[in-house]
Amino acid sequence: MSENEVKITVRPNGPFRVEGPCKLVDADGKEWDLTGKPAFSLCRCGGSTNKPFCDGTHSKIGFQAAEAAVAAADAQK
Ligand code: FES
C-alpha cells in the first residue's frame, strides 16, 4: 500500500477499517479531527453510541454480515 493510498477493509461481522490519508466529513461538510489517527473504524452495524465510529457494540449485538468480495462479472450473473 502506497503512502497516498486509502484502504478500506470490511471486517468480519464488524466495522469498515479505514487506513491511509483521507478526510471524514458529516452531511454538512464539517470534518472530524483525525489528527494522530492513521486508521479508524466506521460502524456498519448501526449500534455504536459513537457514530460514525465503531465502539465495539457489533460484538455485543451479534451483528452478522456478508463480507466476501464478488467480482463484477460474477455479480451480474
Ligand atoms: S460496527 Fe462496531 S459498533 Fe457498529
Domain for residue 62, yes or no? yes
Domain for residue 71, yes or no? yes
Q: What CATH number does the domain containing 47 carry?
A: 3.40.5.90
Q: Check whether 2 has a pLDDT greater than 90.
A: no
The DSSP annotation for 4-54 comes to T--EEEE-TTS-EEEESS---B-TT-PBP--TT-SEEEE--SS--SSTTB-
Domain for residue 63, yes or no? yes
In 3D space, the residue among 7, 42, 10, 9 whose CA is nearest the CA of residue 24 turns out to be 42
- Mean pLDDT over residues 56-74, rounded? 86
Alpha-carbon distance of 40 to 21, in angstroms, equals 11
Ligand 1 pocket, residue 67 CB under 6 Å: no
Ligand 1 centroid–CA 73 distance in Å is 30
Strands of 7-10's sheet, edge to edge?
A: 7-10, 16-19, 39-42
Domain for residue 2, yes or no? no
pLDDT of residue 34: 95
What are 4-56's pLDDT values in tens digits? 899 999 999 999 999 999 999 999 999 999 999 999 999 999 999 999 999 99
Range of the domain at 59: 7-75
